Chain A
Amino acid sequence: MTALTRRDLLRGVALVGVGSAAGAAAVHAHGDDTVWQIDPELCGQCGRCATHCVHPESAVKAVHVHALCGHCDLCTAFFEPDSKLDTGAENQLCPTGAIRRRFIEDPYFSYEIDEQLCIGCAKCVKGCAMFGNGSMFLQIRHDRCNNCNACSIADACPAHAIRRVPASTPYLLKSAH
């Protein structure tokens, strides 16, 4: 048997130190992971989501909860203000033409977002919140998000609308009452 050296003692102390630090940190921990998400109630539609993601194509996209949508003919999320009501590109609010407008039945239209084209600029979200039901809003899409330890959009968000949520409830969707 070898004698206990000073290094052995210090190692024991360090082990206890590291262990208790981790333990104390883990007191409030949960087995669940956390992911980043935008609180649509706080979002101010500033447009930074489109440009501040670490990915060239932002992980933030506009989503549409159709059950909340008024299905209006004059949709302020779709048309430029004071534009003619035809679907020409110059009349559309969306810079990439990512919103598909389709006639359902008189006088209702559906508006679907093509996620491939959406850049997360929140122009439609702003339009929808201004006069509509707020059925379009931004969400972080978790199939695109890297879940960086420090979300660079969250750092840039002026409204502090992006927070960590449990991975088991990864979306903050608005719901119909």
Chain B
Amino acid sequence: MRRSLLPAVCLSWLLAGVAWGDERVPPPEFESGYRMPETTVPSPRAFALEMLDIGALFLALTLATWLVLKKRSRTGVAWLGVASLAYFGFYREGCVCPVGATQNVVLALFDSSYAVPIGVVAFFVLPLAFALFAGRSFCSGVCPLGAIQDVVLLRPVALPDWLERALRVLAYVYLGLAVYFAALGAAFVICRYDPFVGFFRLTGGYDMLVLGGCLLAIGAFVGRPYCRFLCPYGVLLDLTGRLSRWRVTVTPASCVQCRLCEESCPYGAINVPSPLRPAPERARAGRRLVVLFLLLPVIVGLFAFLFHLAGRPLSRVHPTVDLAICATAERGLSDKEASDEVQAWRRTGETLPDLVARGEVLQASFLRGGWWLGGWVGLVVALLLIGLATLPVRTDYEADRGRCLSCARCFEYCPTEHERRKALREEAP
């Protein structure tokens, strides 16, 4: 009988020394003609469907660009946004998106053993390529994260210029951190702290739903807070958007300085004409700029050093570094008392000095990377100060190339635009 066989098998196994897994009890040969069921292996989403996603992205980007630049239609862009929210957001459950794809591309650049899927690279590149030619049409009608904030916008309030600029620095820091952690293979923080993906999946961690809910609540009054002040990909789109070949203009022809569009932008992306300033004020501003430019290397150096120091605590985000620290702390504990992580590591048979050595190598790269991360943050802070000290010279109301999210709201406010539409209506039979 099998039942009585088992203890004997166990005993012989214990005596023979542990052989993990296979065939302590030899699988039987059946006489009754019993056929064993096969293990089912449901396949992942078809590759063709992934390609379809890229096609949908390309199509949506083209459509958004056409609607904003050529058709100048707010209604069109708004409906495209809702459609993208439905498809890329609720149907595809927010994965993969260009914002997160940034990390895959960075990881692939730094870790040659990581093979990034071509589709993910396409998701990263396409919106940037469009931004280089036509501005941030991705933000307006394609990004589900943007669309979910756009639909909750209730009563936008304008933020003071200095606050707006200061908050924008957060996005640059977030991008820096995301690249830092992705490059060092520690974590994909953008995905881990994606505030809206919980809504798209209709489930999520309590903390993430609270964070997302708070952002949406703020978003009722401060337009698209995630896009403007946090989105790391938005930084890349801002930088590429500044170089765009074609751009969103409030007026289709020439600005008549009517000031009607002044408060039309819920995202604070319309630059207003600068007042004429007296000569002494301009001279003072000039001196301030000189001082700030001289201070620039100091600020960069200071932040680089601070983030270099922060490299040690930040390195604990990497699971191996954390494991080395835990394993050292739990040295004296038995297998039962040790944490799951340390238990799992002990099973691998690696010695503690080897693990600690691996952790130290990683920690050293975190400290080295800290210089770069800090340098980047310092540069952004210095440029913020320089930006605040610069007196702009502008004569017309224009949408900022980098900050404009191409939502097409301002068009409706422009009398020249209304004339254009009237002319179009009269042209049509």
Residues of A with Cβ closer than 8 Å to B? Answer: 7-8, 10-11, 14-15, 18-19, 21-22, 24-26, 28-35, 41-42, 44, 46, 48, 54-56, 63-74, 85, 104-105, 107-108, 110, 112, 129, 131-134, 141-150, 152, 155, 158-161, 167, 170-171, 173-174, 176-177
Not counting A7-B243, A68-B23, a sample of 17 additional A-B residue pairs whose C-beta atoms are within 8 angstroms of each other reads A10-B243, A11-B132, A18-B125, A18-B132, A28-B116, A44-B340, A44-B343, A54-B197, A70-B27, A74-B3, A74-B6, A110-B34, A131-B24, A133-B27, A142-B44, A147-B95, A173-B41
A149:B100 contact, CB within 8 angstroms: yes
B34:A159 contact, CB within 8 angstroms: no
B121:A105 contact, CB within 8 angstroms: no
B275 within 8 A of A: no
> Using Cβ atoms and an 8 Å threshold, which residues of chain A touch B112?
28
Residue of A nearest to B120 (CB): A149
> Using Cβ atoms and an 8 Å threshold, which residues of chain A touch B114?
28
Interface residues of B in 201-256 (CB under 8 A from A): 201, 203-204, 239-240, 243-245
8 contacts between A and B (CB under 8 A): A11-B243, A14-B132, A24-B108, A85-B3, A132-B25, A142-B42, A142-B44, A176-B27
A21:B109 contact, CB within 8 angstroms: yes
> Using Cβ atoms and an 8 Å threshold, which residues of chain A touch B244?
11
Residue of B nearest to A160 (CB): B319
CA distance A28 to B112 in the complex (A): 7
B23:A133 contact, CB within 8 angstroms: yes
CA distance A71 to B27 in the complex (A): 7
A108:B24 contact, CB within 8 angstroms: no
CA distance A149 to B108 in the complex (A): 14
CA distance A171 to B41 in the complex (A): 7
CA distance A123 to B209 in the complex (A): 30
Question: Nearest 5 A-B pairs (CB), nearest first?
Answer: A70-B25, A159-B344, A134-B21, A143-B42, A66-B36
Residue of A nearest to B192 (CB): A150
Majority SS at the chain A contact face: loop
Given contacts A32-B47, A44-B340, A105-B31, whether A64 and B103 have CB atoms under 8 Å apart is no
CA distance A66 to B35 in the complex (A): 10
A147:B132 contact, CB within 8 angstroms: no
B95:A149 contact, CB within 8 angstroms: yes
Interface residues of B in 33-73 (CB under 8 A from A): 34, 36-45, 47, 50
Residue of B nearest to A7 (CB): B243
CA distance A22 to B108 in the complex (A): 9
> Using Cβ atoms and an 8 Å threshold, which residues of chain A touch B105?
21-22, 25
